[in-house]
Chains A and B, each alone.
Chain A
Amino acid sequence: RVPRQVKSMLTKETKPHIQELSVKTTIISRYAFTAVSCTMLNRHSSAAEGVFQFLIPKNAYVSNFTMIIGGRVYPSEVRPKEKKVKQGKGDEAKPKNKEKGEQSEPEVEVFRMGASIPGRNRAMFMLTYEELLQRRLGRYEHVTSLRPLQLVSRLSVDVTIVDHSTITHLEVLPLRNGKSNTAVASGASAAKTPAKPALPISTVIKQNKTFCRITFSPNIVQQAKITTSGMLGEFVVHYDVERELGIGDIQVLNGHFVHYFAPKDLPVVPKNVVFVIDTSASMLGTKIKQTKDALFTILRDLRPGDRFNFVSFSNRIKVWQPNRLVPVTPLNVRDAKKFIYMLQPTGGTDINGGIQTGSSLLSGYLNADPDANHHSVSLIIFLTDGRPTVGELQSPSILSNARTAVKEQFCVFTIGMGNDVDYRLLERMALENCGMMRRIHEDSDASTMLKGFYDEIGTPLLSDIRVNYTEDSVQYVTQHLFTNYFNGSEIVIAGKLTNQSADSLHVQVTASNSDKSIILETDVALRQREVETERHVKEAAAGVGSGDTGVGTTGSVADDFVERVWGFLSVKEGLRSRLKSQTSREREGHTQQATDLSLTYHFLTPLTSLVVEKPQVLADGTMAEDTPTPTPVPTETNKKAASANELSDETEGEEDTAQGLHLKKDQPGGQSSRITKTTGKVVKRPVQKSITISKTSADGD
């Protein structure tokens, strides 16, 4: 029974009501296809603005978006983004502010589309996006944001995981920002432990060895018990799969391959680590407290073979143990704790000074005895909450100085805390020095996040990893040289097969670990792999195919999932290279390449825009006869992308500021059986008549 309060709330609602919101995700071997379908009803006789809003993960690319309003189909198109003329000096201040705003974004992006819905009519919004789930801390995380901003009559989330390997761990977390049950399943027995029916939110897990399906479909009353605002939170699924000891898992499909490499049971490589910590005045309060908490915890986790040191920077640079890295002994750890405890925020931010001091400590140690450190991993962990205000202030100079100081001897991992950080600087610094960058948002638990980041990189297992495939058998292979492989992570490489008739592909992985160089190699039977890959694509299609009423998540796109993984990785790589490029020519080349790939795979990236035709609704609430020309989708992501374009070269095109949702190709032009009209084309039911077909043909078996 729907409580009176809920009924009353729905009656009072003036904006179009969301009748159905369906989110279907199919994860085939870490590659997630998500299709969102949202049906809105305008109960009133006059036209009303329906706003479809959905949060997508930052790492994902939108691949399609389509609307059906008043029986007409409005598909979208991914186009290259038009270059804008640089703004005059008077406008140059604006991007900085925008940039600042962008940097405070969460790990999701808002896709928003508003459209007029004719009176007493429905609108259907369909959105698809794709992402390659990254393995972090020994698991993959898939997040579905459920913030429809109102109670929804039929709400469903459907996550299907199909993997080539056995699913070893599966966990559905409570809704983030909401109260929900947690259903935990592990191994094949999970099917016997469904969520408790008495719990307010229904989560059902069906699982076998390599397949699992999780459905979450709270009814309107259950939603109201969590929140009446429609801000349910994030539905999070964690899982992991069995990993091989050898070269890893290679999947082959339609002339492409993807290689997942995450060996287990390897000894830990000792590390040399220098923590470079911002102690400027802005760190005062919670930030420094949480940073100290995290560092205390990290100190406990250092291993006996590790060596470490601390640098703090503000106006002044302080080094805990001058000119050396010290081994992890109880005495050293105790002294380090004292140093951390005594850190007092004051003054400005000398980023250049901090990096230079940290680098000289580390390179001094490495150069003193190169042989002794041959089998260790060296890194700087750099944390700041602000922009450079003291010493060198120009980002290009800071980056150039960092490159010169690092000399490719070690990697720099950067962490930014809060809204006032030059994240582009940190990202470039990390990218140029084989590291990674992480953001800690203003209101986040910095202690946990900092420790979490350290956990990701704190256990190096291999260094100098080189993955080779049979010469002349592959081409367009994505990054295959890696400085480090950390426990709990995964290396993913994809490429095209040049010789598809070859029976096997020779794969060789060379790397160094704690005391030796290792070579892993094997011949992969291509045909067999292809059959296996096809089989589990079919399983995925079968798993979501039955009763699938929304936008299909698998279908033909999934049939080419290996190629799409390659496309996805290649676009990411192109954008990274673009960010790292030193000359405008180099940058143009990467831009062109990444744009072409984005268009080929219909990815909405910082280099492309999504254009969709919008319906015209007359004042009386009916649809206009003529449809306007397509216009760019006014999504948050596109707005950000547009603003990114207005930035100077230095700040333009940040990879993760303008993600693309991707509209799936299976679009519903044919879903409407009535007469419809789109720009320049008339879509109608055909008159069925017999057509003479000649015998001249090419057909299958």
Chain B
Amino acid sequence: PHFVVEFPLSKLTVCFNINGEPGHILRMVSDHKHSGVTVNGKLIGAPAPAGSHKQQRTYFSTITIVVNRPKRSYIEVTPKKVILDGQDRLVLSCDTTVSVESGGLAVTIVGKSTVTVTIGGTIRFVILVHQYKNPAPYQRNHLGFYISNSKGLSHDCHGLLGQFLYEEVGLAELSGNATATGDHSTSSRSPILKVKGRSVPVVQKTRRIYSGRQSVDCWFARNNAAKLIDGQYEDYVVSHLFDTGDWP
């Protein structure tokens, strides 16, 4: 999957890829101790497009959200359905528009489009449902995960996305006129992103988000976000969909 991280304070957007293995479950957001929220995503594989020499593709086939407060709830989202496990179990089709509210938790499905999970009014995740009518061999029905409101997540929040929520970044060693919006094709030296005291070489790229409806210019960190993220991406692979373990 492609990851995009917006740093509003730094007015920068950073992106990276995680080329996990099918079956891997990635920790996206981990704030179990404070807000009680954990988000994991399971990967599914698909072969690379014919004729390309790229790796196989991976997509999110399932996204799970564990909410610990006020009541423990488990939300499992797939391109077909949403399962809510709380006091009782509710299975909702992603093809139907419906909203469920219980305690401080609300789940809203807009048929074949989005699933919005709102927790306590201060945390909101939006999951885009990508369903293909006639998928190519390298395409799979999959999900996109967007953080819509992160106010309720703590400063100790971690995970592939969660660790950047309260961070600031800066660019350094830009050569020539290359900037976040400038022409970098003439540059022979990579710009360096300063994050959490680490230096990460980046290049400029454009990413399509929101089902391709919008483009975003971002600084791309290679090699599964090496140095950008704390540890390595393998450190974010968890054992099961409802794992809530904290970052060590």
Contacts and interface: CB of A to CB of B under 8 A. Distances in A.
Given A255-B22, A666-B93, A692 B98 contact: no
Interface string A674-701: 0000111111111110011111111111
Contacts of A684: 98-99, 101
Given A556-B78, A665-B83, A682-B101, A699 B96 contact: no
Given A254-B22, A255-B23, A669 B44 contact: no
B80 interface: yes
A670 interface: yes
Q: Label chain B's interface by main secondary structure.
A: strand
A634 interface: no
A630 interface: yes
* Size class of the B contact interface (CB-based, 8 Å): 35 or more
Interface in B56-92: 56-57, 59-61, 78-81, 83-84, 86-92
A695 B47 contact: no
A694 B93 contact: no
B5 interface: yes
A5 interface: no
Counting chain B CB atoms within 10 Å of each CB, the highest count among A667, A673, A678, A700 belongs to A700
B90 A678 contact: yes
A500 interface: yes
A77 B88 contact: yes
B128 A670 contact: no
Contacts of A254: 22-23, 44-45, 61
B148 A670 contact: no
A584 interface: no
B97 A685 contact: yes
Interface of B: 1-6, 13, 18, 21-23, 26, 28, 41, 44-45, 47, 56-57, 59-61, 78-81, 83-84, 86-103, 108-111, 114, 116, 124, 126, 128, 130, 137-140, 142-150, 160-161, 164-165, 209-210, 216
Interface in A134-189: none
Contacts of B86: 680-681
Contacts of A500: 21-23, 45
A681 B102 contact: yes
A694 B78 contact: no
A501 interface: yes
Counting chain B CB atoms within 10 Å of each CB, the highest count among A530, A669, A671, A687 belongs to A669
Given A668-B93, A696-B147, A696-B161, A691 B80 contact: no
A427 interface: no
A75 interface: yes
A238 interface: no
A680 B114 CA distance: 23
Given A681-B102, A700-B59, A671 B96 contact: yes
A696 B97 contact: no
B70 to A, nearest CB: 12
Given A500-B21, A686-B98, A693-B146, A700 B93 contact: no
Given A500-B21, A673-B96, A699 B128 contact: yes
Contact of B98 (A669, A680, A700): A669
B13 to A, nearest CB: 6
Nearest to A500: B21
Contact of B110 (A527, A530, A667, A688): A688
Those 6 A-B pairs whose CB atoms lie nearest each other, nearest first: A670-B96, A255-B23, A699-B144, A667-B91, A686-B99, A670-B93
